[in-house]
A = this chain, B = another copy of it.
């Protein structure tokens, strides 16, 4: 158990953790590769070997971000059984992720730094999208219904991540969730009349 072993042993995941912490603290704008390396206790050029350049690091981080994003939706869905309730719950999970990790949310949806042509990242993103599609399907929804749920969930989440929903700040969490659920229900396909 040397103080400073020349070989870290698990630098790749250590760098990803450090990058996420750095992103959470200093934000997407003030993100620094050298600072990430310092946080991981390693020289500033060490990340290059694992990720190539900063884009490679952020691409890997975004991939992990999409996995957590999907997990956040699924966690909320587990509390519901009816298809409509599950779709609404997924929207709440969408918001959860944006509130818990706003910078990761921005890295995934509003940044151009990751390489979205990367196979792993693309796959992770498609998985999240396909999951949303699968939620609308049992409701007999079409393309417009998928877009509706997605846009509403994303709109709420992105505004919340940017702290642009001051109207929500005065409410306690339960009331806030109930209000968002109401918004999401508006856009779901209505039960067929008759």
Contacts and interface: CB of A to CB of B under 8 A. Distances in A.
Give chain A's interface residue range (CB within 8 Å of chain B): 20 to 34
A80 to B, nearest CB: 21
Contact of A155 (B28, B106, B151, B164): B151
B112 A151 contact: no
A37 B179 CA distance: 47
A165 B152 contact: no
Contact of A158 (B143, B158, B182, B183): B158
Interface in A96-121: 106, 109-113
Nearest to A151: B155
Interface string A48-65: 000000000000000000
Contact of A165 (B29, B147, B162, B183): B147
Contact of A186 (B110, B111, B148): B148
Contact of A110 (B106, B167, B179): B106
A162 to B, nearest CB: 6
B144 A150 contact: no
Contacts of A13: none
Contacts of A182: 144
24 contacts: A27-B112, A28-B112, A109-B158, A109-B159, A109-B162, A110-B110, A110-B158, A110-B162, A143-B167, A147-B156, A147-B168, A148-B152, A148-B183, A150-B159, A151-B152, A151-B155, A151-B159, A152-B155, A154-B158, A154-B159, A155-B155, A155-B156, A183-B187, A186-B186
